[in-house]
Amino acid sequence: MLQKLLTYLLDSPFKKYFYLILYNLLTSVVGNKQVTFMNYGYVDLSPDVKILELSAEDQEEIYCAQLYHHVANTIYLKGYDVLEVGCGRGGGSSYILRALQPKTMTGVDFSEKNIAFCQKLEVIPGLNFRVGDAELLPFADSSFDVVVNIESSHCYAAIEKCFDEAFRVIRPHGYFLFADFRPSNLIDDVRKSLEMSGFKVIKYELITENVLKAIDLDNTRRLTVIKQDVPKYLQGIARWFAESKDSPIYEEFKNRKSEYFYYVLQKP
């Protein structure tokens, strides 16, 4: 019954506001300050890969941090003004600033509860957070060198508006670093929408296997957080949301009915 209801809501024109309610609710009840990332994670499958060296505060959420590193480290960010659209609880924006050293790092999110959490927890010079809608960003044209959008766009009502807004606020020759998942039959539609917004594709990669491996390795931690920090009446939704191994999207990744991808794109 729960799965059918969630499926209906996520396919409806109101999904943007469903996600807003859900994010506000979960952030209100999950006060755990160690839960700062909101993505499925990434594991490099190369046998000789160098393990990412993280600070103690990032180590608990290493797989989530690795996704940000894999996507954002494709561009040399030092000295750039960077915007993350859909920053969630702020862990990714904080990691990018500390590890990749842009000049400034701004995070925006539609959830006022998420932003309140970020502003309270992540007090770092050069890091700022504000409430903002991905489909109508509260910034002037050409305000940033790089826009980052990781595992957030599937929540939007009109993805084309998000891409248009990203293009608008990026400076000429700047970059859009974009990662998310979609049903396999919609992958080509995403690329067409990106190109119609004006972006040039620099790099594209399917990373579904890497994400599945991260979910496998991180499953125990996620379920422990849910059991300890989430009220029982919300644990079913939280397990679905946190992408536990028994969730529908996990099976879709395994069966390749959905794919996880990332793009490096440039504004001419």
> pLDDT digits over 158-205, tens only?
999 999 999 999 999 999 999 999 999 999 999 999 999 999 999 999
pLDDT band at 2 (very low <50, low <70, confident <90, very high): very low
What CATH topology corresponds to 2-45+52-266? Rossmann fold (3.40.50)
Burial class (CB in 10 A: 0-12, 13-18, 19+), 246: exposed
Per DSSP, the three-state class of 205 is strand
Angstrom CA distances, 204 to 5, 11, 188, 200, 263, stand at 33, 26, 12, 11, 5
* Torsion angle (degrees, nearest 10) of CA 142, 144, 149, 152: -70
**Total-model pTM:** 0.91
Beta strands in 50-189 (DSSP E): 81-85, 104-109, 127-131, 144-150, 170-183
| Mean pLDDT computed over every residue of the chain | 88
Per DSSP, the three-state class of 263 is strand
Percent of residues, the chain, with pLDDT higher than 70: 88
pLDDT band at 243 (very low <50, low <70, confident <90, very high): low
Helix axes 159-169, 187-196, angle to 10 degrees: 40
- The pLDDT score that the predictor gives to residue 153 is 95
Other C-beta atoms closer than 10 Å to the C-beta of 214 total 24
> What is the distance between the alpha carbons of residues 27 and 14, in angstroms, rounded to a whole number?
20
- The pLDDT score that the predictor gives to residue 8 is 46
- Average pLDDT rounded to a whole number, residues 28-55: 82
Cβ 39 vs Cβ 67: under 8 Å: yes
Residue pLDDT, tens place only, 87-116: 999 999 999 999 999 999 999 999 999 999
DSSP state, 123?
Answer: -
Q: Of how many residues is the chain composed?
A: 268
Task: Kindly tell me if the per-residue pLDDT of 1 is higher than 60.
Answer: no
